[in-house]
Amino acid sequence: EQPLIKLKPQRTSSRDLVNLDGLWKFTLASGANDTTQPWTAPFPKNALECPVPASYNDIFVDRDIHDHVGWVYYQRDVFVPKGWSKEQYFVRAESATHHGRIYVNDRLLAEHVGGYTPFEADITEFVTAGEKFRLTIGVNNELTHETIPPGKITVGEATGKRFQTYQHDFYNYAGLARSIWLYSVPRQHIQDITVVTDVEGQTGLINYKVKVANKGTGKVKVSVVDEDGAVVGTASGAEGTVKIKSAKLWQPGAAYLYQLEANIVDSRDKVVDTYSLATGVRTVKISGSKFLINGKPFYFTGFGRHEDTSVRGKGHDQAYMVHDFQLMNWIGANSFRTSHYPYAEEVMDFADRHGIVVIDETPAVGLNTDLLGLSGAEPQKTWGPDGMNNNTQKAHKQVIRELISRDKNHASVVMWSIANEPASAEDGAREYFEPLAKLTRELDPTRPITFANVGGATFKTDLIADLFDVNCLNRYFGWYSETGELGEAEAALEEELRGWEKKYNRPIIMTEYGADTIAGLHSTLGLPWSEEFQIDMLDMYHRVFDRLESMAGEHVWNFADFQTSVGTKRVDGNKKGVFTRDRKPKMAAHGLKSRWTNLTASG
């Protein structure tokens, strides 16, 4: 059985790696029933060129491309290095939103549904080392009520134009937003590693499992190397435990990473394959209303975020990644949620290296047909054959499997969030979620699980919270209700939080709270949309949080302003950012900075 998602490619003494980012030729399929098969021939010389990684939507000055619903194709020529004749080699796409196909010359070699996790094609048998091939990647952005996230396609009566609608509040950016790789491994190679860490007194335990492809006579040996390069433990066999005396723990704000070097060695002890996995030794546990990391209560400060910048859309960008982490550090954020989909693996690696705590979320957002009326459609029943049905649930299971398969070894990840704001108070929610919660626990018995609960599903009406470990709540008292009336909002918020506290006696994290704020709009009266209102509203929430025993964290919605679909409720996107879309602080940033730096200093 193959691992769902193989280890992130690496260049080591036994493996090679070629990055395929850059400008690719680009074309749209001409319609839903396009039969032109663009992959069967080289694109014309004058074809559009599209940068990878980037979403394609905002690159061109062309409404047809921006609004396109259906397939697009990226194409370039690729050489397989001459030296790879004895190796096995793959093309890997880190993401293709939401449905990807990899063609080598005329041939379809891999297909994957799910826009935020990697997939790859084994091309060894189809291209000879030293030769050139035509690589085409097809990407389809369509969402239906049976995909994750869900959506709906309608056809304009007058124009025949196809429209994509969806219930989630961020733009449906599409394309190749993350890196594309060509990489090689030896025939017999390490396909997957699973690491679970524990602590006994001063001793750190690294429990590991190594999965080998094309098993031969080779044996698995692992060694653990500390940050000074010293070997601090070894083990042999595909499964085992490495004990590290006086282990240095991975701590929030103070990361420490060992390298677990996994090797396959032959009978003469010669290394056949080697892979190095960054491993933080830490524990995560819930005790009463406390969220414990390494046995100590941890209070989450930070944000729900988006992968979103102008021009590149959801395109991964190193400069923005580092800058965003710098801003989070500046403001005293110790954590974030990958709202509302798995982020680029580079982001997870960065969080590991810098001690940033992550709540890792699936792309299951918008499982709620009655939310905010953002879709403009008449509300209908969420759970059922015409809404979120058995096929949706199947797709949901798959995104959970892929998220855990990809991110299970990250020390930074302390909890799985399997959905954002599902209709958890509607009949059918429990039947839909019970198997999903169970599956998540089976796949990873070591981390707590959660989902982000929507305001409409209160402690009285929510039907699924008991299936999870932590109450993550998204609340907008003072914005979507009691708009601008912070006195009323404060009372309503406190009543709601006390209700959850009393009913569950477990950690509560406010995973969303915030107000749309136009940078530069000011109001002596502190009216909504002004920078003053954002400050007043956050202060009000903080007063309430500080009166409650069970609060285990606060994530403001959102880190930065971000793009949404066109509609009457959003003006050039969602403005709840504490930073603007180009990462300038709004006034509220300064208050958050002093609160969060003090909390960390005293905590």
Kindly list the catalytic residues: 421, 512
Q: Does 477 bind ligand GCB (CB under 6 A)?
A: no
Q: Does 557 bind ligand GCB (CB under 6 A)?
A: yes
Please report how close the Cβ of residue 196 comes to ligand GCB at its closest, in angstroms. 31
Q: Does 496 bind ligand GCB (CB under 6 A)?
A: no
The site string for ligand GCB over 62-101 (x = CB under 6 A, - otherwise) reads: ----------------------------------------
User: What single DSSP character describes residue 5?
Assistant: S
Give 3-state DSSP helix, strand, coil % of the chain, rounded to 5.
20, 35, 45
Q: Does 361 bind ligand GCB (CB under 6 A)?
A: no
Q: Which of 457, 510, 165, 170 is nearest to 308 (CA)?
A: 170
What is the DSSP secondary-structure string of 347-392? Answer: HHHHHHHHT-EEEEE-S-B---TTSTTTT-SPP--SBSTTSB-HHH
Q: Does 576 bind ligand GCB (CB under 6 A)?
A: yes
Please report how close the Cβ of residue 174 comes to ligand GCB at its closest, in angstroms. 18
Which one of 289, 392, 471, 474 is in contact with ligand GCB (CB under 6 A)? 474
Contact in structure between 176 and 127 (CB atoms under 8 Å): no
Q: Does 532 bind ligand GCB (CB under 6 A)?
A: no
Residue nearer to ligand GCB on the CB measure, 258 or 300 = 300
Please report how close the Cβ of residue 258 comes to ligand GCB at its closest, in angstroms. 36
Q: Does 420 bind ligand GCB (CB under 6 A)?
A: yes
Helices marked H in 44-139? 63-66
Tokens linked to 562? 């971000």
Please report how close the Cβ of residue 513 comes to ligand GCB at its closest, in angstroms. 10
Residues with Cβ within 8 Å of 465's Cβ and at least 6 positions away in sequence, in order, are: 424, 453, 459, 471, 500, 504
Question: Which residue is closest to ligand GCB by CB?
Answer: 169
- Site residues (CB under 6 A) for ligand GCB, limited to 271-310: none
Residue nearer to ligand GCB on the CB measure, 450 or 574 = 574
Q: Does 512 bind ligand GCB (CB under 6 A)?
A: yes
Please report how close the Cβ of residue 473 comes to ligand GCB at its closest, in angstroms. 10
Q: Does 188 bind ligand GCB (CB under 6 A)?
A: no
Q: Does 169 bind ligand GCB (CB under 6 A)?
A: yes
Tokens linked to 424? 């958890």
Residues with Cβ within 8 Å of 482's Cβ and at least 6 positions away in sequence, in order, are: 488, 489, 492
Contact in structure between 494 and 544 (CB atoms under 8 Å): yes
Q: Does 462 bind ligand GCB (CB under 6 A)?
A: no
Residue nearer to ligand GCB on the CB measure, 355 or 573 = 573
From residue 331, how far is each of 99, 352, 516 by CA, in Å? Answer: 37, 19, 19
Residue nearer to ligand GCB on the CB measure, 213 or 374 = 374
Q: Does 475 bind ligand GCB (CB under 6 A)?
A: no
- Site residues (CB under 6 A) for ligand GCB, limited to 321-350: 340
The CA distance from 313 to 171, in Å, is 9
User: What single DSSP character describes residue 212?
Assistant: E
- Site residues (CB under 6 A) for ligand GCB, limited to 116-135: none
CA dihedral defined by 48, 52, 55, 59, rounded to 10 degrees? Answer: -40
Tokens linked to 524? 């002596």
Site residues (vs ligand GCB, CB under 6 A): 169, 340, 420-421, 474, 512, 557, 574, 576
